[in-house]
Amino acid sequence: MSVVTEVLEELWSMFVGDRRLTLLVLAVLAIAATVSWLAPGLRAATPALILIGAAGVLADSVFQAARKAR
| Residues near another protein, by CB under 8 A | 3, 6-7, 10-11, 14-18, 21-22, 25-26, 29, 32-33, 36, 43-44, 46-47, 50-51, 54-55, 57-59, 61-63, 65-67, 69-70
Q: CB of 14: closest distance to another protein in angstroms?
A: 6
- Angle 25-27-31 (CA atoms, 0-180°, nearest 5)? 120
Q: Which of 49, 26, 51 is nearest to 36 (CA)?
A: 49
CB of 26 to another protein, least distance (A): 7
